[in-house]
Amino acid sequence: MKLISGGVCAAKGYKANGIHCGIRKNHSKKDLALIVSDVPASAASVYTTNLVKGAPLTVTKTNISDGIAQAVICNSGNANTCNYNGIEIAEGMCGLVAEHTGICARNVVVASTGVIGQVLDLTPIENGMEELTAGLSYDGSENAAMAIMTTDTIKKEVAVEFTVGGNVCRMGGIAKGSGMIHPNMATMLVFITTDCAISPAMLQKALSSDIANTFNMLSVDGDTSTNDMVTVLANGLAGNEEITAEGEDFNTFMEALNTLTIHLCRMIAGDGEGATKLLECIATGADTEEAAKISAKSVICSSLFKAAMFGADANWGRVLCAIGYSGADVDVSKIGVSFRSPKGEIEVCRNGAGVPFSEEKAKEILLEKEIDILISLGDGEYGATAWGCDLTYDYVKINGDYRT
Please list the active-site residues.
187
- How sure is the predictor about 186, in pLDDT bands with cuts at 50, 70 and 90? very low
pLDDT at 29: 93
Distance CA 248, CA 73 (A): 33
Q: Is 201 found in the same domain as 113?
A: yes
Q: Which one-letter DSSP state was computed for residue 379? A: S
Q: Is 197 found in the same domain as 283?
A: no
Q: Is 284 found in the same domain as 266?
A: no
Q: Is 193 found in the same domain as 334?
A: no
- Whether 376 and 295 have beta carbons less than 8 Å apart is answered as no
* Measured CA distances, 101 to 30, 135, 136 (Å): 20, 12, 10
Q: Is 244 found in the same domain as 294?
A: no
Check pLDDT > 60 for residue 184.
no
- How sure is the predictor about 378, in pLDDT bands with cuts at 50, 70 and 90? very high
Supply the pTM of this predicted model: 0.89
Q: Is 199 found in the same domain as 51?
A: yes
Mean pLDDT of the chain: 93
pLDDT at 403: 57
Q: Is 180 found in the same domain as 287?
A: no
Q: Is 68 found in the same domain as 215?
A: yes
- Whether 19 and 135 have beta carbons less than 8 Å apart is answered as yes
Question: CATH number for the domain including 363?
Answer: 3.10.20.340
Domain edge (last residue) among 224, 247, 270: 270
> What are phi and psi for residue 220, nearest 5 degrees?
-105, -45
- How sure is the predictor about 177, in pLDDT bands with cuts at 50, 70 and 90? confident
What is the distance in angstroms between the CA of the first residue and the CA of the last residue of the chain?
45
Per residue in 120-139, pLDDT (tens digit) is: 999 999 999 999 999 999 99
Q: Is 204 found in the same domain as 345?
A: no
Per residue in 216-229, pLDDT (tens digit) is: 898 876 555 567 88
Per-residue pLDDT, averaged over 93-111, amounts to: 98
Q: Is 101 found in the same domain as 248?
A: yes
Question: CATH number for the domain including 97?
Answer: 3.60.70.12
Q: Which of 15-24, 87-96, 395-404 has the lowest mean pLDDT?
A: 395-404
Check pLDDT > 60 for residue 91.
yes
What is the number of domains present in the chain? 2
Q: Is 255 found in the same domain as 141?
A: yes
Range of the domain at 208: 2-270
Domain edge (last residue) among 222, 241, 270: 270
pLDDT at 331: 96
pLDDT above 90: percentage of residues in the chain: 81
Per-residue pLDDT, averaged over 259-271, amounts to: 92
Question: Exposed (0-12), middle (13-18) or buried (19+): which is 349, by Cβ within 10 Å?
Answer: buried
Q: Is 198 found in the same domain as 113?
A: yes
